[in-house]
Structure 1
Amino acid sequence: MTALRLVAAVLTVLLVLVLGSLGSGDDREPTYTRYVSMGDSFTAAPFVPVNDIAYGCYRSTNNYPAQLARALGVREHVDRSCSGARTLDLTGRQLTARGSRVAPQVEALTPETDLVTIGIGANNYRLYARLATVCRKLTTVCPLDDQRVLFGRILDQLRPALVGTVTEVQQRSPRARIVLVGYPRLLPPSGDCRRLPRMRPQDRATFRAVNLRLVEEMSAAADQTGVEYADFYTASAGHDICAREPWVQGRVGDGRVAAALHPLRAGQDALADLLEDQLREPPPRA
């Protein structure tokens, strides 16, 4: 009788262990072996120490993809992000600020790639240059509101361009978990500060509207292609250029800190944390 009770107890323990392992099979933390990061300067993070010139792409070794790869313990990370990149430059050769031609970013993709992040779109038709680069160089007021119609036309074409880009990535790396990474919130909800280019109230309103529409189109493109979206716009609330703890540099750049109107180290840290939390969870079911 004692032996039978002992056998029953052992079988009960084994049954609990087996059922437990079956129940937790879908909840295991994902792992990644080959990660490819693609994007523009908001991915490359120029001059966020330490910097890799990369033929004019100006990739920081402290950008969010590098931090994310280290945090996730990825065996192989290939960073193809490049300052100034447009959606066209993911599939075509890009001419960089140093006059070099770099290979299409998608050439880094393989069938074995199991993680891809993409941060792209703001440079299409020189959108961000019109908003930021031109404005910070002007000694007069930057009349953004006068270009509102043009900005709308550019943004109308963004979603189809992103859908085509993501579709190309899906075809080249069908096993990959793909995340489209949004841009941060750049201006405060209201008001002005010395770190911003000179703009009228209506110009700042236009800047805010373009910033919001940009990330809305990215989110819609992610939905349309069935990939994940990382909402950095929402996460960066309270860390705009004028904030006490900004995540984006002001209109005056610093070659040892960050390029003008581009990501700061604090923002890259925060985005890496956001993505790590998202990617440690199993991908959402369609």
Structure 2
Amino acid sequence: MRTTRLLAAAFSAAILLTGTAAAASAAEVHHYVALGDSYTSGPFVPVQRLDPLGCGRSTANYPSVVAAALHVGAFTDVSCAGADTTNMTRPQQVPFNGTNAPQLDALRIDTDLVTLGIGGNDYGVFGSLVSTCPGLRASAPTGNPCEEHFTTNGVDTVATAITAIRPRIEAVLAAIHQRSPGARVVVVGYPRIAPENGYCPDVLPFADGDYAWLNRVESDLNEAIEDAAADGAAEYVDTYGPSRGHDACARGGSAWINGKDQNIFAAAAYHPLKAGMAGVAAVVLKALR
């Protein structure tokens, strides 16, 4: 009888310890806040949230995948398509008469994890490339007409803009630390859009010579973001390297990035697909763990 009672007590203690360990694991991240632009929010990646609809915020974007995997205590995703660094402290008007509040307003004193994916929309860098480059391909299919278009008096104006983005991100990081001084802050770079080699004009309609320039622009942008993270006491997560072979030209369902065709059931043009969000989430989780 005594042995039975001892076994029962031991079994109960084991259950209690297991439950306590699970609770501790679940509470490891108390409050996670995701900040960022469309490469964070995931426009058209199913299923879309309505708060507001114009932000293109998906329940399958990488922050949502990360939050679920970590079993966070509370998760707040305020990322929004079209956001730039100014929308961290100012409200953002979005389609369908919606407004996304200043993203930093989501931070709390007890926030202990923040991910930030921002910079590509500042000075219209991303929008200028995708709205201009495809239309220039016909003028010189094997040349680099887009690079030439953005070069003035020998100066690459896109590269100049990227240089100016870095201090903006540093300012955002300073504000994050001020509002959530105990938070682990992780800055997430942009995944690869164009392949290292080869072309796919039916999917990514840039002139052949502009592929290398597009890669350089994205690499420079990610480098500026990484430098800002280092100066801003934050961690940087590289997704450009890990997304090699998963660019818009990738075949066989391995692409992380959608091409030129808008697909309201999968992803916005030139934006991450659901597979891309899952891929980025895996890279972020690896860094966090």
Name the CA distance, whole Å, in 2 between partners of 1:153 and 1:53. Answer: 36
Q: Using the alignment, how far apart are the partners of 1:197 and 1:273 within structure 2?
A: 25
Q: Which runs of 5+ in 1 are unaligned?
A: 1-27, 281-286
Amino acid in structure 1 at the alignment position of 2:112: D
Deviations 1:179-213 (A, max 9, x none): 00000011011221034443323322221110110
Asked if structure 1 preserves the Cα contact closer than 8 Å seen for 2:257 and 2:271, the reply is yes
**Residue 26 of structure 2 contacts residue 71 of structure 2 at CA under 8 Å; is this kept in 1?**
no
TM-score (norm 2): 0.83
1:172 aligns with 2:174: no
Tell me the CA shift for residue 150 of structure 1.
1.5
Tell me the distance in 1 between the aligned counterparts of 2:106 and 2:71: 19
Q: Distance in 1 between matches of 2:202 and 2:264?
A: 16
| Match in the other structure for 1:262 | 271
Q: Which residue of 2 aligns with 1:213?
A: 220
AA matched with 1:257: A
Distance in 1, matches of 2:72 and 2:285, equals: 12
In the alignment, the residues of structure 1 paired with residue 93 and residue 213 of structure 2 have an alpha-carbon distance, to the nearest angstrom, of: 30
Cα pair 1:250 1:261 within 8 Å, conserved = yes
How many Å apart are 1:29 and its aligned residue? 11
How far apart, CA to CA, are the structure 2 residues paired with 1:53 and 1:108?
17
RMSD over equivalenced CA pairs, Å: 1.9
2:78 aligns with 80
**Match status 1:248 vs 2:257:** yes
- How big is the shift at 1:87? 0.6
Match of 2:235 among 222, 228, 240: 228
Corresponding residue to 1:144 among 143, 146, 149: 146
1:127 — aligned with what?
A: 125
The answer on whether the counterparts of 2:66 and 2:284 sit within 8 Å (CA) in structure 1 is yes
Q: Is the 8 A contact 1:195 1:242 kept in 2?
A: no
- Residue 274 in 1 paired to residue 271 in 2? no
Alignment of 1:42-57 (within 5 A): 42-55=39-52, 56-57=54-55
Match of 1:191 in 2: 198
Cross-structure match for 1:161:
168
Tell me the residue number matched to 1:104. Answer: 102
State the alpha-carbon separation in 1 of the partners of residues 216 and 175 from structure 2: 29
Determine the C-alpha separation between the residues in 2 that align with 1:137 and 1:101: 32
- Residue 253 to residue 153, structure 1, CA distance change in 2 (3 Å): same
> 1-side partners of 2:135 and 2:73: how far apart?
42
Instruction: Write the distance in 2 (CA, Å) between the matches of 1:230 and 1:83.
Output: 20
Letter matched to residue 187 of structure 1: A
- The alignment's TM-score, normalised by the length of structure 1, stands at 0.83
| 1:159–1:139 CA distance, 2 compared to 1 (3 A) | closer
Counterpart Cα distance in 2 of 1:191 and 1:269: 25
Structure 1, residues 251-275: CA drift from partner, whole Å, max 9, x if none? 0021111111000111111111121
Deviations 1:204-228 (A, max 9, x none): 2221110110100011111111210
CA distance in 2, matches of 1:201, 1:95: 36
Any idea what the Cα deviations from partners look like across 1:120-177, whole Å, max 9, x if unmatched? 0000011101111444577845932120421022111011011001110010000000
State the alpha-carbon separation in 2 of the partners of residues 195 and 170 from structure 1: 44
Question: Is this contact kept in 2: 1:140–1:198, CA < 8 A?
Answer: no
Q: What one-letter code is carried by the residue in structure 2 that aligns with 1:31?
A: E
- Give the count of matched residue pairs: 253
Kindly tell me: are residues 260 and 121 of structure 1, through their superposed partners in 2, closer, same or farther at Cα, counting changes over 3 Å?
same
Q: Equivalent residue of 2:33, what SS? A: strand
